[in-house]
Amino acid sequence: MITRRLAPLRAAGSTTVAAAVVGAAALILSGCAGVRGGDDPDGGNPGNGSGSSNGNGNGKGGGGGQGVDPGQGTGVCGQEVLATIRDFRGFTVDPSMPRHPDFEYNVGALSGIVKAKIGGDQKPVYAPPGPTSSTNGANYFNQWYRDVDGVNIRFDKVSIQLTADPNRQGVYLYDSDNYFPIDDQGWGNQYQAHNYDFTTEIHFNFPYRGHEVFTFRGDDDVWVFVNGNLAIDLGGVHEAETGSVDLDQMAGALGITAGKTYRMDIFQAERHVVGSTFHIETTLACIDNVIIP
């Protein structure tokens, strides 16, 4: 079940941050994410990336899913998530370098911006037929998670380090209500207190053992795909919101089977001043990062 909990929206031009919604975020995964689909005794054949009925990390296969392509992970397990950040211009500093129209745009939560299946290039696919209250159409949206000269600036392997919770053994946390990973970089802060207006893209492999629950709190837009299928949809420009997915309850819809390794893809966009929340909580001991061009 996809759930969405709302906090008050940010007003345009606001200079204070509304209180972040209170909620826990948990990705409870046993085992090691370095295990690949083909390495599990009952893991079946790994996907070949062809989109055939044998399945792949894009959720395009059948038969309960066969896990991820073993060649796409780094093979390194740890408690570090590696993100790709792309910086955009949300404010017009130089008339010859206009702002991106989707950033510092209208405020409002909006589900349904992306399709239920991730694209063949492992990026979210724009769903509406044209502009919405929060977006200006597919052409502009397609720039969010793709490199476009003069529009965005890419930062690779930005570390999001999970740290051990001193009060709960085996739990690792990343919790920031001040998530500004590229301050004073890229297009710069544009006369703001921080460098707003950026996107975050994360891909990693994980073993599905059963009973895992993933909850994420963040803003603005947040989409989480499991095995290429949309599991959390927190689209739109809003204060911190919480989305949750019970992998057992959604196993059929996600095409996943316990005992196999799958891909998780997380896409976030910070599109409006003045706050930025990014919260992960996990018992996952090993994260196998995947870097997508």
Res 95: pLDDT? 86
Residue with more model confidence, 121 or 28: 121
User: Which distant-in-sequence residues (6+ apart) come within 8 Å of 171 by Cβ?
Assistant: 164, 165, 281, 282, 283
Would you say residue 170 has pLDDT above 80?
A: no
What is the C-alpha separation between 113 and 137, in angstroms, rounded? 10
Res 69: pLDDT? 59
Per-residue confidence at 37, pLDDT binned at 50, 70, 90?
A: very low
Handedness of CA 241, 247, 249, 255 (dihedral sign): positive
Res 285: pLDDT? 65
The pLDDT of 269-287, averaged and rounded, is 86
What is the C-alpha separation between 227 and 20, in angstroms, rounded? 29
What is the C-alpha separation between 214 and 28, in angstroms, rounded? 7
| Of the listed ranges 99-113, 227-241, 268-282, the one predicted with least confidence | 268-282
C-alpha 249: how far from chain center:
21
The pLDDT of 137-146, averaged and rounded, is 98
Would you say residue 236 has pLDDT above 70?
A: yes
Length of the chain: 293
Phi-psi region of 260 (alpha: psi -120 to 50; beta: other; left: phi over 0): beta
Would you say residue 273 has pLDDT above 80?
A: yes
Would you say residue 29 has pLDDT above 70?
A: no
Tell me the average pLDDT of the chain: 78
pLDDT in tens, 9-25: 333 333 322 333 223 33
Question: Residue 39: is it exposed, middle or buried by C-beta count within 10 angstroms (0-12/13-18/19+)?
Answer: middle
